Chains A and B, each alone.
Chain A
Amino acid sequence: MLEFLYLIPLFPLLGVVLNTFVLRGQPEKLVGGVAAAMVGASFVVAAGAFFQLLGMPAESRHFEQELFRWIVVGNFSAQAGFLADQLSMIMMLVVTGVSFLIHVYSIGYMHGDAGFRKFFIYLNLFVFFMLLLVMGSNYLVMFVGWEGVGLCSYLLIGFWFTDELKASAGKKAFIMNRIGDFGFLLAIFLLWTTFGTINFREIEPMAQAYPVGAGVITAICLLLFMGATGKSAQLPLYTWLPDAMAGPTPVSALIHAATMVTAGVYMVVRSNFLFSLSPMAMDVVAWVGGITALFAATIGLVQTDIKKVLAYSTVSQLGYMFLACGVGAYTAAVFHLMTHAFFKGLLFLGSGSVIHGMSDEQDIRFMGGLKDKMPTTYKTFLVGTLAIAGIPGLAGFFSKDEILWKTFESHNYALWAIGATAAFCTAFYMFRLLFLTFFGKFRGSKAQEHHVHESPKLMTIPLIVLAVLSVLGGYVGVPHALGGHNNFHEWLLPILSETGEHAGAHHGVPTAEYVLMAVSVLIALIGIFVAKSWYLGKSSLVESLGKSGTRNLLYNKYWVDQIYDTMISQPLVKLSEIFARYVDQGTVDGSVNGLGATVSGIGGIVRKVQTGVTQNYAVIMSLGVVLLLGTLLWSVLG
């Protein structure tokens, strides 16, 4: 199947073409069905390729497919090519698999929307670009995918663009991402000038020649990470992601939880051979990730919009992944990326189901008691909540615990404490969300109560599948301490340069690991208990909490948006006003007017010449001839 690698991104692209040109005016089922089938076909090919890769010996598990010479200018050359190895294979499976489920779900969710076909065109286009991003064999192909998913994200956030707020959320996402992209682009330039190539597998051996801590490598890594903070919504560029919830909920699930936002993590892991050479960059990654994990989790504690809670949760979980990267536990990062795609995709789709059933209500203060009215949604949502909270036996437990353990093991105790605190917050806000939504009395309007219904099969089946994955997905990476083999780790290991690697094998009695595991489970249980005692059955607390100063600070997201507005946006606007008035209208317009006068002056001459009097043309031509011949003859005689 590996030789058909190119088919994987081609199918979704075909879906775009079909839906754009052929299926115009066709019924929804056909439009959505074709779009979903295309992604499904990609998944099948990816699965085939995966098994073929699995059959190869571990050290030769890579397949590079050169498609064509893409750009050759001067001594710069870039190939368009794909790379299938242990890492990109996992990404391909996650992207196509989760996308397929979300496509199916969307057929139900977007039913009746005026932009139904457009939605699926964008969604397929997104999958195409996402696959380019993870499959590219060099940084430039990755960058094309990177920009492409950014575009699709913009289009889909502002999908209901007639709403001004939603349209500007799209713009915000785009601009925040551009800031990060700038860093990524500079990193690519620097990679080219340093190594003379941008191909991953060519750079890797060359990078080994550099000493640990080499300045240029650190610069490259920091610039790459700057790109990652934009795309993966880390401090300080995270503010776009909560606003991105303005898009349709399947988009939030697919792009802003399961796939696109993890692109930054993928990029850092992909570049692990560079990051491992730069302890400083690693520290930056670890600390930014750790702080973001806690910071976003605290904001999530008090949000009242169901999707906003999940959005901050996503930012926080992405922080965990970067934390893992920063302490050199790349496999843990990818493992958590995968399990997160399952349970966060599930939670978002679940919230979509709730919103759907609640006639577009998103505020959890006006929900409650949906447990019996939407049983499937409730049960699957519960699974997702347990998984993200880190309850043993579910996927999130294994992956999050591995990150915390690796952080501890690498002697970053402060970061471990931050991560553990964030884990407490996570358990708390997720159960708060669960209790407020599904338990207690119904707090919405009569009309909503009358309307509440379980979602159609097309939506609940993907929920069930993702719930199953949220449970089973963790068992590919059961740690040795719990008697597992951590197959996931073994699979990825050949292409990663993990720092704490030697620790993987030595295990006598992993007492410390057991203790830490117990601690994190305890933390999660306390979080759940607090949430239960505060919110279960006492809906009065829902309102009364609004008074305290801390809550205000958290509810207003540490005023970061306002700070950005006053510190950056407003001064920029002021500055541009100054520029507009003095530089543009004064200097530029002045000089343009001056130039205009000159041009008009010249234009006057030109126009005088261009009056249409042929003789004048001939005169000027003759002058030109004289000048030309003069210079030529001068070069011979002079």
Chain B
Amino acid sequence: MDSGDFMGVLPELIVVVTALLAILADVASKGRNPSAAQGVTVLGLAVAAAVALISPSEQTMLMAGQLFNDGFSAWFRALFAVAGLATAIFSPLYLTHRKIRLGEYYSLLAMCVFGMMVMSAAANLLLFFVGLETMSIALYVLVSFRRDDAASVEGGLKYLVLGAFSSAFLLYGMALIYGGIGSLDYVAIGEALRQSDGIGPMTVTGIGLLLVGFAFKVSAVPFHFWSPDVYEGAPTTITAFMSTGAKAAAFVGLIRVFGVALILTSEHWTTALSVMAALTMTVGNFVALRQTSVKRMLAYSSIAHAGYLLVGIVAGTPQAFAAAGFYLIGYALMNLGAFGVLMLINQRGKGDYSFESLRGMGTVYPVLGLMMSVFMFSLIGIPPTAGFFGKLYVFSAAIEQGHLWLVIIGLLNSAVAAYYYLKVVSTMFMAKPEGDVAISQPFAYKAVLAISSLLIIVIGLFPDQLVTAMLRAVP
């Protein structure tokens, strides 16, 4: 490992050290006060994000060709660190409210971020798998972190069982690809496919199983069943983190594996993937439509967003991947923000996440209401927000590749989605507040919300800057 390698993996190293320090900090406080662990995590992830963004990201390989060090990995390493950072800032309010005082929560969060970073930078299927499992195992624990809550524990167990199930497919697919092509290395696979004139049944089966593994992680229909239950049961902070960070990590992997390494085999899987995309958008939206719990609604709508993103993968061009990257960044901001506001409001009353609990809160807390409106408008895709341009770029890339009907389905779905997102806004502003409306709003918490809503607007006003950066970064 030369110094270049060292500098290249510095963000990962910082995150691992952060995870270890968080444990130590917790031990030092004798497990009574998790705020030390939280502080360490916030600081460490902030540094990691900054390092990831400023470190030079030319299109090079690290660690003897095991890791990509390109623009895409730089942007997404930063995104994961930021998602973890935001989650860590949101967490104390949520955890204290539920009397959870375990510092290892933060350490696990940092480990998750580490796993995501490896997933997004891996240049080898095995390494990707290691990253995936690092993230997943930490997530299994985090999902069931509310040990006294049946739903939480059940969610964690389900995630574990089904995750293992899907990992089996993933691994078996890798084995078959190795058997068919002779390598697990992305670049080598791409090269081998260029040399060969077509693939055999073994390779195609491998590709199919690999796709199943990815589809599970991005919660594409019909491999999505775990996600509503898990999102519902998990602590809301972790739901927010999973639906943004974990999803983005899986998508970056999907782009690297299917969008680049296996792109020459796309004739075999494009149709299947577009059917999956259409189903995912539609099922996610229609089920979200009928939810009475905002948390569950956001969980289902995150399935729908995975569907829009899959449209970008189907399109299969660098422009489409840049658009997907743009979309993922915007989506992380708006979904984290939406969950953030939801959790703030959720402090009061019965602590459920029903639409009822939002009644009139926008009139009581106008700034909060305004920010929630920004998040919702962006989730719908109304200009000038990041969400609008994300959809615009993804869909226009798909149209250029002739996937008109997919785009039409996507647009119809966006219209459906407007209903349940606007319901949040209208409940917050049009209804009269009831009962006790007092909530505490820690400064850092509100700052995260303010920055994300501002960024959504700024990206919406100056979309070209980000999409150009994405085009340069795309693998």
Given the complex, which residues of B lie within 8 Å of A624, measured CB to CB?
Answer: 212, 215, 222-223
Q: Answer whether residue B271 sits at the interface, using C-beta atoms and an 8 A cutoff.
A: yes
CB < 8 Å neighbour of B225 from A74, A603, A621, A629? A621
Using a CB-CB cutoff of 8 Å, which residues 603-623 of chain A contact chain B?
603, 606, 609-610, 612, 614, 616-618, 620-621, 623
Give A67 Cβ to nearest chain B Cβ, in Å. 9
When distances are taken between beta carbons in the complex, the residues of chain A under 8 Å from B283 are 606
In the assembled complex, A515 has its CB within 8 A of some CB on chain B: no
With beta carbons under 8 angstroms apart, the residue of A68, A74, A612, A625 that contacts B169 is A625
Q: Which of A445-453, A499-507, A630-638 contacts the other chain?
A: A630-638
Kindly state the separation between the CA atoms of A70 and B208 in the bound complex, as whole angstroms. Answer: 40
In the assembly, what is the distance between CA of A623 and CA of B204, in Å?
18
Are B208 and A621 in contact, CB atoms less than 8 angstroms apart?
A: no
B191 at the interface (CB under 8 A from A): no
Does residue A72 face the partner (Cβ distance < 8 Å to B)? yes
Contact check: which of B162, B169, B286, B464 meets A614 at CB < 8 Å?
A: B162
Residues of A within 8 Å of B400, CB to CB, are: 74
A72 touches B162 (CB 8 A): no
Cα A69 to Cα B389 in complex, Å, equals 14
B429 CB → nearest A CB, Å:
14
Contact A71 B464 (CB under 8 A): yes
Which residues does chain A contribute within 8 Å of B267, judged by CB atoms? 635
CB-CB under 8 A from A633, the residues of chain B are: 201, 204-205, 208
* Alpha-carbon gap, A438 to B268, bound state (A): 86
Contacts of A635 in B (CB 8 A): 204, 267-268, 271
Counted as pairs of residues, one from A and one from B, with CB atoms less than 8 Å apart, the total is 93
Interchain nearest-CB distance for B105 vs A (Å): 25
Name B162's contact: one of A71, A621, A636 (CB within 8 Å).
A621
Q: At the interface, yes or no: B365 with Cβ under 8 Å from chain A?
A: no
Cβ–Cβ < 8 Å partners of B271 in chain A? 631, 635
Whether the pair A599, B290 counts as a contact (CB closer than 8 A) is yes
Query: Interface size bucket, A side?
Result: 20 to 34
A621, B166: Cβ atoms closer than 8 Å:
yes
Considering only residues 154-190 of chain B, those with a C-beta below 8 Å from chain A are: 154, 157-158, 161-162, 165-166, 169
How many Å from the CB of B399 to the closest CB on chain A? 8
Tell whether, in the assembled complex, residue B396 and residue A629 are in contact, meaning their CB atoms are under 8 Å apart: no
Output the nearest chain A residue to B165 by Cβ-Cβ distance.
Answer: A618
Query: Is A73 at the interface (CB under 8 A from chain B)?
Result: yes
Q: Does A628 contact B (CB under 8 A)?
A: yes
Which residue on B lies nearest to A625, using beta carbons?
B212
Find the B residue at minimum CB distance from A596. Answer: B290
Give CA–CA (A347, B207) in the complex, Å. 77
Q: Which of A378-436 contact B (CB under 8 A)?
A: none
Other-chain residue from B201, B204, B222, B268 in contact with A620 (beta carbon distance below 8 A): B222
Tell me which of A68, A606, A610 contacts B229 (CB under 8 A).
Answer: A610
Specify which chain A residues have a CB less than 8 angstroms from the CB of B8 in the assembled complex. none
Please report whether the interface of chain A is mostly helix, strand, loop or mixed according to DSSP.
helix
Residues of chain B with a CB closer than 8 A to A603's CB: 287, 290
Report A-chain residues with C-beta under 8 Å of the C-beta of B463: 70-71
Q: Which residues of B contact A625 (CB under 8 A)?
A: 169, 208-209, 212
* Chain B residues within an 8 Å CB radius of A72: 464, 467
Residues on the A chain within 8 Å of B290, using CB: 599, 603
A603 and B291 CA atoms in complex are apart in Å by 12
* Complex: A637 Cα to B208 Cα, angstroms: 14
B139 to nearest A CB, angstroms? 17
- A628 pairs with B211, CB closer than 8 A: yes
B231: Cβ under 8 A from any A Cβ: no
Q: Say whether B396 contacts A74, CB under 8 Å.
A: yes
Q: Which of A296-317 contact B (CB under 8 A)?
A: none
In chain B, positions 202-243 with a C-beta closer than 8 Å to chain A are 204-205, 207-209, 211-212, 215-216, 222-223, 225-226, 228-229
Contact indicator B268/A636 (Cβ below 8 Å): yes
Known: A73-B393, A624-B212. A631 touches B229 (CB 8 A): no
Specify which chain B residues have a CB less than 8 angstroms from the CB of A618 in the assembled complex. 161-162, 165
**Which residues of the other chain, B, contact A612 by a CB distance below 8 angstroms?**
154, 158, 229
Bound Cα distance A603, B290 (Å): 10
Q: Residue of A at shortest CB range from B471?
A: A72
In the complex the two chains form, is A632's CB within 8 Å of B223's CB? no
Q: Shortest beta-carbon distance, A509 to chain B, in Å?
A: 59
In the bound complex, CA of A515 to CA of B286 (Å): 75
State whether A629 touches B162 (Cβ < 8 A). Answer: no
Q: Residue of A at shortest CB range from B228?
A: A610
| Contact between A628 and B212, CB atoms less than 8 A apart | yes
Interface residues of B in 252-306 (CB under 8 A from A): 267-269, 271-272, 283, 286-287, 290
> Which of B223, B287, B399 contacts A621 (CB under 8 A)?
B223
Q: How far is the CA of A617 from the CA of B157 in the complex (A)?
A: 13
CB distance from B333 to the nearest CB of A (A): 19
Q: Are B225 and A620 in contact (CB under 8 A)?
A: yes
Q: Max chain A CB contacts within 10 Å: which of B222, B286, B462, B463?
A: B222
Which residue of the partner chain A has the closest CB to B225?
A: A617
B169 closest partner in A (C-beta): A625
Please name the residue on chain A nearest to B222 by beta carbon: A624
- Any chain A CB within 8 A of the CB of B412? no
Within 8 A of B (CB), among A573-627: 599, 603, 606, 609-610, 612, 614, 616-618, 620-621, 623-625
Give the distance to chain A from B166, nearest Cβ to Cβ, in Å: 7
How far apart are B229's CB and chain A's nearest CB, in angstroms? 6
- Chain B residues with Cβ under 8 A from A636's Cβ? 199-201, 204, 268
Once the chains bind, are A621 and B204 in contact (CB under 8 Å)? no
B166 and chain A: residue at smallest CB distance: A621
**Is B465 close to A, CB under 8 A?**
yes
From B161, B208, B465, give the contact of A628 (CB < 8 A). Answer: B208
Q: Which residues of chain A are near B468, meaning CB under 8 Å?
A: 69
Asked whether A632 lies within 8 Å of B204 as measured between CB atoms, the reply is yes
Query: Quick one: given A614-B161, A625-B169, A635-B268, are A606 and B287 in contact (CB under 8 Å)?
Result: yes
Asked if B392 is an interface residue, CB under 8 A from chain A, the answer is: yes
Chain B residues near A609: list those with CB within 8 A: 225
Q: Which of B157, B225, B393 has the most CB of A within 10 A?
A: B225
Task: Find out whether the CB atom of B393 lies under 8 angstroms from the CB atom of A70.
Answer: no
Q: Which residues of A contact B226 (CB under 8 A)?
A: 617
Residues of A within 8 A of B286 (CB): 599
CA distance A504 to B399 in the complex (A): 54
Closest to B383 in A: A71
Chain A residues near B393: list those with CB within 8 A.
Answer: 73
Q: Which 7 residue pairs of A and B lie closest in terms of their CB atoms, listed nearest first?
A: A617-B225, A624-B222, A632-B208, A69-B464, A635-B268, A629-B208, A636-B204
A-B contacts, 13 of them at CB < 8 A, read A68-B465, A70-B462, A70-B464, A603-B287, A609-B225, A618-B162, A628-B208, A628-B211, A628-B212, A629-B205, A632-B269, A632-B272, A633-B205
Sample of 6 more A-B contacts, CB < 8 Å, known A625-B212, A632-B204, A637-B201: A69-B464, A617-B225, A620-B225, A624-B212, A624-B215, A632-B272
| B positions within 8 Å CB-CB of A | 154, 157-158, 161-162, 165-166, 169, 199-201, 204-205, 207-209, 211-212, 215-216, 222-223, 225-226, 228-229, 267-269, 271-272, 283, 286-287, 290, 389, 392-393, 396, 399-400, 462-465, 467-468
